[in-house]
Structure 1
Amino acid sequence: MIVRLLMLAGIVYLFFAVRSLFRRSSGRIHGAAGEPVDGGPARIDDVMVQDPVCGVYVPRQTALHVRHKGNDIYFCGEACKDAFFSRHP
């Protein structure tokens, strides 16, 4: 009885070990041409920018962008943009 229990525990352990190997290999990072890039950093799709009024970080692609006095300024929303320009005409 104990031998069967130990065999069952060994089989369950092997199943989960093989499953975790497959999960790790399926989560590989791929380069531009589709080739795997092992050990390399993940590609960053967007950069977070900070709203100067409220301090919230937002993705640059979705932030409101304004060029003011030669500087790129990003806002989380219209209210923060309006508040900024009421203080900095």
Structure 2
Amino acid sequence: MTRLLILTLLICIGYSLWTFVRRSLGGQRPPKEPQVPPRRTSSLRGEDLVQDPQCGTYVPRTEALETQIDGRRHYFCSPRCRDAFREKK
């Protein structure tokens, strides 16, 4: 029984020593970059958001519908909001 305990202890020490030497020699892999799920890239770039005057939704400027109404530029989240805003004016 004592021999089994000593053998187990030697194996643990040997494994720890082997791991230490391997890491100190540069065998450790660099940590992986976290994977970003595929999404629209505009929100990842820190793009300016514009507010839809009809419903109040914020939309990235490149994805918004830009419309000139009464000489002023407005941005909308959808054609439905744009049309509803035009009817109000």
TM-score of the aligned structures, taking structure 2 as reference length: 0.54
Cα distance in 1, alignment partners of residues 49 and 70 from structure 2:
22
Aligned partner letter, 2:51: Q
Identity %: 31
Tell me the matched-pair count. 65
Match of 1:3 in 2: 13
CA gap of 1:12–1:55, structure 2 versus 1, over 3 A, is: farther
Gaps of 5+ in 2: 1-10, 34-44
CA offset at residue 53 of structure 1? Answer: 1.3
* Partner Cα separation in structure 2 for residue 82 and residue 12 of structure 1: 64
Q: 3-state DSSP class of the match of 1:15?
A: coil
What are the residue-to-residue correspondences of 1:1-89 with 2, within 5 Å? 1-10=11-20, 11=22, 15-16=28-29, 19-20=30-31, 44=45, 46-88=47-89
Would the alpha carbon gap of residues 55 and 9 (structure 1) be closer, same or farther in structure 2, given more than 3 Å must change? farther
Q: Which runs of 5+ in 1 are unaligned?
A: 24-43
